[in-house]
Structure 1
Amino acid sequence: MARDKQTDSFSSPVPPRGLTRDRHGRGMRGPVTGPHLPRLRGRIDTFFLTVSHTVDYLRGLWPEELADVHFDVAATPPRTDVAGVVERWKVDHERRRIVLYRIPIQRMSRLHIDDDLHRQMMIESVVFRGVAELLGKEPWDLGPERYRH
């Protein structure tokens, strides 16, 4: 099978291995979750869902302050700091915008326990810190009732 370098595609009429998914004559594979269950979520879907829920929670607590705030998610920051520090978020006070950088949050955060709960808590804490920076408050002051026992 020859590979065409200009178009980065295969020039053979036979589809590349894996596209037909017919292993050993057993027919097409079905989805892993079955026909009646929802599809599994990946890291990116989980990240966006966690950010969305956290933003909704904070907008419920601070509706006037966060009414015109725009939240964005970017893969990585445009550059690293002079000291080599990679930003997790960026706040633009003039445009009332918070940009969260997904890859540094997911891959460069040091978790003492690497499980779904602690990854979710890390994402939530970054959203809280970004909003706190925008509003000029401490992250703990954003949801004071949440942390009282």
Structure 2
Amino acid sequence: MPRSRRALAPAPSARRGIRDRHGRGLRSSVAGPYLPMLRGRIELFDTTIASTAEYLRGLWPGELSAMTIEIASAPHDALHGDHVDRWTVRPHDNRIVFYRVPIQRLSKLHRNDEVHQRLMVESCVFRAVAELLGKDPWDLAPERFRHF
């Protein structure tokens, strides 16, 4: 005689806030316990902005020690006729706001891989910091580009 599914189901647990699918317990990570966690676009973007800003702070400690960097998803006034803002520089607050969606989605890359995406984000940081300091982006780290 077949048993009903109701008899096989475990008793409901006392903790209701945890997601428990059909009595199988909590879900594990997609990468598994032995592999590193996967990085998403947002985490990669945030890490690239932070590491590039710290690199520039190391090169220009006097000018960039009070610089504040913020990341927003998109600007409030996005369209300006011929372009979309990718960052906003506020020199009186010594603050730069980067907009993730325009940088990631509207940038034209000849090869869309992680290296070129990272270089695009780094170039935006260099250009925004140069705008804040009133310098040319190539003058911020001249030794970085001399490989010979």
Residue 63 of structure 1: aligned partner: 61
| 1:120 paired to 2:118 | yes
For the residue of structure 2 that corresponds to 1:64, the secondary structure is helix
The Cα shift of 1:35 comes to: 1.1
Residue 71 of structure 2: aligned partner: 73
For 1:109, the aligned partner's letter is S
Higher helix share: 2
2:96 to 88, 95, 98: 98
For 1:41-93, what per-residue CA distance to the aligned partner results, in whole angstroms no more than 9, with x for missing partners? Answer: 11000000011100110000000100111100010011134314210011001
**Unpaired segments of 5 or more residues in structure 1?**
1-18
The Cα shift of 1:30 comes to: 2.9
State how 1:16-27 maps to structure 2 within 5 Å.
20=20
Identity of aligned residues (%): 53
Residue 11 of structure 1: aligned partner: none
In angstroms, what is the RMSD of aligned CA positions? Answer: 1.8
**Aligned in 2, Cα 1:28/1:80: closer, same or farther, shift over 3 Å?**
closer
Residue 145 of structure 2: aligned partner: 147
For 1:67, the aligned partner's letter is S
For the residue of structure 1 that corresponds to 2:119, the secondary structure is helix
For the residue of structure 1 that corresponds to 2:53, the secondary structure is helix
Residue 32 of structure 2: aligned partner: 34
CA distance in 2, matches of 1:26, 1:115: 38
Choose 1 or 2 for highest CA Rg. 2
Calculate the TM-score normalised by the size of structure 1. 0.79
State the structure with bigger RCO (CA 8 A, min sep 6), 1 or 2. Answer: 2
CA distance in 2, matches of 1:27, 1:69: 47
For 1:148, the aligned partner's letter is R
For 2:30, the aligned partner's letter is V
